[in-house]
């Protein structure tokens, strides 16, 4: 860093002055956001409002909201929710009653705790407390143009779709993600509705129910993937732009790699800016095959 200062000072003092002002501004912004994060962590039980946190760093609520999102990647409200859920999860693991967990976390009641868990964890507090024990998952195996898959669903929607080498391996993987859920080998209507998209008819994709668990950032990325049209492609940087996190291409790539529902959430349609196909959780060869198959559906005979 010192070398940069010296180089700019010697070459162009006007540019040096501008860069120094910009650098100092960045340091000030970072210190404000760091202070806000510490304040939220120390006072989350009071569930402080946006105005209150903004006052702690001497910014207007509007400016603070924008600045916090730029640095932390989520809004102050989402960050507060994440802290609250993590704390509540620790209490639930200690077998605290739901009403006590709500009170200790600073929430007004069990209904708010329920809504918070559904929004962040994709399950109720009771389901989390039981390690998914109250969750019933139907699963089945099916053949597709790209290989065998395991598809699993809850009453809320598809929770996993994965390409598998054999049924035993697929079931072990499903049990790893839902260690205490009641697994039943059964093909239900939710699965049947999803499987028909392997025929190439994506007209009603939005009607497919999904039951996803992920961080707010992951969910944003997966929602962006769902907006990529059939037969089209995008890039990691374009996805980052779409979710209003330009420059977060690497984090986007990590979120895409964590996609639990292959094909329906089309992570295969994201390639590198250079045009290289890039990695794929189930193999780059399979990714290439799916992209080729989609292109053939759109341009038959070409």
Are the beta carbons of 105 and 84 closer than 8 angstroms? yes
**Which tokens hold the place of 79?**
């960050």
**Which tokens hold the place of 119?**
């929004």
Residue 201 phi/psi, 5° resolution?
A: -95, 100
Rounded to an integer, what distance in angstroms lies between the CA atom of residue 126 and that of residue 260?
A: 23
Which sign does the torsion angle of CA 44, 47, 52, 54 carry?
positive
Backbone dihedral region for residue 147 (phi beyond 0: left; psi -120 to 50: alpha; all else: beta): left
Beta strands in 129-273 (DSSP E): 136-144, 147-153, 158-163, 182-185, 234-235, 270-271
Catalytic-residue membership of 267 = yes
The single residue of 267, 270, 271, 290 carrying the catalytic annotation is 267
- Per-residue CA distances from 162 to 167, 178, 223 (Å): 11, 14, 18
Active site residues: 267
């Amino acid at each position: 860093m010192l070398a940069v200062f010296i180089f700019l000072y010697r070459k162009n003092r006007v540019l040096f002055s501008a860069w120094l002002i910009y650098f100092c501004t960045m340091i000030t912004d970072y210190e404000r956001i760091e202070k806000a994060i510490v304040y939220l962590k120390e006072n989350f039980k009071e569930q402080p409002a946006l105005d209150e946190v903004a006052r702690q760093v001497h910014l207007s609520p509007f400016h603070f909201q924008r600045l916090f999102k730029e640095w932390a990647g989520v809004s102050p409200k989402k960050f507060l929710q994440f802290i609250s859920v993590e704390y509540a999860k620790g209490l639930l693991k200690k077998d605290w009653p739901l009403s006590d967990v709500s009170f200790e976390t600073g929430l007004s009641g069990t209904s708010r705790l329920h809504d918070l868990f559904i929004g962040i964890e994709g399950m109720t507090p009771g389901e989390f407390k039981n390690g998914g024990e109250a969750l019933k998952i139907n699963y089945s195996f099916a053949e597709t143009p790209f290989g065998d898959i395991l598809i699993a669903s809850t009453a809320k929607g598809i929770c996993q779709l994965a390409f598998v080498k054999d049924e035993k391996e697929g079931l072990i993987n499903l049990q790893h993600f839902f260690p205490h859920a009641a697994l039943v080998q059964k093909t239900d209507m939710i699965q049947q509705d999803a499987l028909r998209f392997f025929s190439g008819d994506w007209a009603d994709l939005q009607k497919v129910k999904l039951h996803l668990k992920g961080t707010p950032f992951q969910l944003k990325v997966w929602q962006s993937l769902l907006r990529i049209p059939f037969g089209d492609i995008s890039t990691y940087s374009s996805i980052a732009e779409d979710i209003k996190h330009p420059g977060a291409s690497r984090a986007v790539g990590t979120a895409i790699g964590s996609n639990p529902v292959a094909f329906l959430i089309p992570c295969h349609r994201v390639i590198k800016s250079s045009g290289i196909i890039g990695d794929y959780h189930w193999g780059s060869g399979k990714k290439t095959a799916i992209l080729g198959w989609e292109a053939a559906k759109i341009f038959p005979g070409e």
